[in-house]
Amino acid sequence: MAEPAFPWKVAWITGASGAICGEIARRLASAGVTVAATARPGGKLDELAASSERIKAFPADVLKPDELKASVAKIDSALGAIDLALLGAGMYVPFDIRNIDLDGFHRTMALNVDGVINGIAAVLPSMLARRHGHIAIMGSLFGYSGWPGNGSYGASKAAVINLAESLKLELQGTGVDVTIINPGFVDTPLNASYDPKKKLYAMSKERCARKIVEKLGRKPYEIAFPPQVEGFLKSVRSLPRAVSFPLIRWFTRKMGA
């Protein structure tokens, strides 16, 4: 099926060598968008760039702000101004409260939070100067609510959900749109260590990318799915804590957590 037409000429995607963002990159390219694909240098990024003449690799480490700024400048001069920045580089590590993996926690917060703000800092000045642009951040449904075993990833995604709210409010009237993208479980290498029995309503990367791509062009503030998990986590969050905590404990024990 043909992809819909999109409101961007040039999209910059971080985490483009990964499962979900790679799939998004291919879909945007096949619909005529020029994609600047960023990840650390490597075979997967090269393979993605080789898959379409509309995808160009701009290798960089999102943990290095100067490298990202230099990449954005290169993209601007090689492909034209960036209309969409999709900040998708991310990782997951398990979290065991009795044996806290401090290194894993710090790495997750660095990539999932610092990596996002580094991308915003690199691209926002030129968007503001042009009074035009769209920043989309990959969050997760697990940023909505604390969840046993999810202390690192959940905290990092809660941080970017909050950051996106600040951006949305501050950028109103500037011509720069903001979208937070919160999928549920997607079968990708990112969460391969997660117990498959606990992956509620897990979906394929193709389905996830299709849902994102279908909605992103309308520039909504929030894209969240699947609705069953979104509805549950948002409802739980809005309940008094005296109700929500026992409910989550009951639910996660039922799932074997």
Ligand X SMILES: NC(=O)c1ccc[n+]([C@@H]2O[C@H](COP(=O)([O-])OP(=O)(O)OC[C@H]3O[C@@H](n4cnc5c(N)ncnc54)[C@H](OP(=O)(O)O)[C@@H]3O)[C@@H](O)[C@H]2O)c1
Q: Which residues does the annotation mark as catalytic?
A: 153
* Closest C-alpha among 53, 42, 130 to residue 85: 130
Dihedral Cα 112, 115, 119, 120, nearest 10 deg: 60
Q: CA 244, CA 147: separation in Å to the nearest integer?
A: 11
Which helix H or strand E contains 250, and what residues bound it? helix 241-254
Q: Which of 79, 120, 158, 186 binds ligand X (CB under 6 A)?
A: 186
> Using an 8 Å Cβ cutoff, are 139 and 91 in contact?
no
Q: How far apart are CA 230 and CA 142, in angstroms?
A: 9
| Closest by Cα among 136, 180, 135, 186 to 161 | 180
Cβ proximity to ligand X: between 64 and 132 the closer is 64
21 binds ligand X (CB under 6 A): yes
- Judged by CB under 6 A, which stretch of 2-10, 163-171, 187-195, 238-246 contacts ligand X? 187-195
Site for ligand X contains 138 (CB under 6 A):
yes
Q: Quick one: which of 39, 49, 229, 236 contacts ligand X (CB under 6 A)?
A: 39
Q: 5, 32 in Cβ contact below 8 A?
A: yes
Q: Which of 32, 42, 125, 246 binds ligand X (CB under 6 A)?
A: 42
Please report, as residue ranges, which positions from 84 to 103 form the binding site for ligand X (by CB under 6 A): 88-91
Count, residues near ligand X per rule CB under 6 A: 30
Give the residue, chosen from 140, 145, 150, 152, that forms a contact with ligand X under the rule CB under 6 A: 140
Residues that bind ligand X (CB under 6 A): 14-21, 39-40, 42, 44-45, 61-63, 88-91, 111, 138, 140, 183, 185-186, 188-191
